[in-house]
Amino acid sequence: EARHYDFSSLRVCISAGEHLPASLYEEVKGLFGCEVLNGLGTTELTHIFISNRIGAVKPGSLGLPVPSYKAKVLDDAGRELPSNQIGHLAVKGSSGIRYWRRDDKQAKYVKHGFNYTGDLTYVDEYGFFWFVGRGDDIIKTSGYRVSPQEVEEILVKHPAISEVAVVGKPHPKLGQIVKAFVVLKPGFKPSVELERDIISFVKASMAPYKAPREIEFIHELPKTPTRKIRRKELAVMERHGTCSREG
């Protein structure tokens, strides 16, 4: 439907709130004919501090630190990691706030002048930052660490899937298993056959341990007013069996 409109005056699009997968970037760029600038900012720093630039976009990445900000990827001991190693994102720059009457949070998230954002990222050899996931969203299954966003990027390429959210479901032996909550596109109906097809689709593109062991079809994903997926709410709904299931 959007292809019936003239978007020739549109110069650039901005993405925020949720991670922008490379596949969605290409879809939006193909539709509107302009680049999409994905970036990252936080309430604590009151500003976007990493972003792609016009004419220098790496689809799927967060981009480069913006002027007046410095960003690092650190290990658990606070040491800076080399390129392509996953660690904690720490940022400092020309803006920021202090936690009001919360010295515990101030001590936990602000160290040596750097604000720990709670995101897991890595930096490639060209200095571009790549989002892996929120630290508390990472799924630990059979001794492996799985990024929900990495699995979601594969799942949304399936022709039947409109939206998806991946969470860790507690498991007595494996610690957690990968579970996907799926919203189907119009014309598709939940079935055991479709569930198997989706799982096989993921296994064809990534390590089998990252593929969902369970898929639940639901009408819609719970989101914040800014359209961020409420993953913790999904986990609670799953435990109590209160999801709005399809079928």
Ordered structural domains, the chain, with CATH: 2-134 (2.30.38.10), 139-240 (3.30.300.30)
Q: What is the largest CA-CA distance in the chain?
A: 56
Walk along the chain (247 residues) and give the pLDDT tens digit of each residue. Answer: 677 888 889 999 999 878 898 988 998 999 999 999 999 999 888 889 999 999 999 999 999 999 999 999 999 999 999 999 999 999 999 888 888 889 998 888 888 889 999 999 999 999 999 998 888 888 999 989 898 989 999 999 999 999 999 998 888 899 999 999 999 999 999 999 999 999 999 999 999 999 999 999 999 999 888 777 888 788 777 666 555 556 5
Instruction: Say what angle helices 148-155 and 192-203 make with each other, to 10 degrees.
Output: 110
| Rounded Cα–Cα distance for residues 117 and 108 (Å) | 10
Q: CB count, 10 Å around CB of 209?
A: 15
Q: What is the pTM of this model?
A: 0.75
Residue 221 burial by Cβ neighbours in a 10 Å radius (0-12, 13-18, 19+): buried
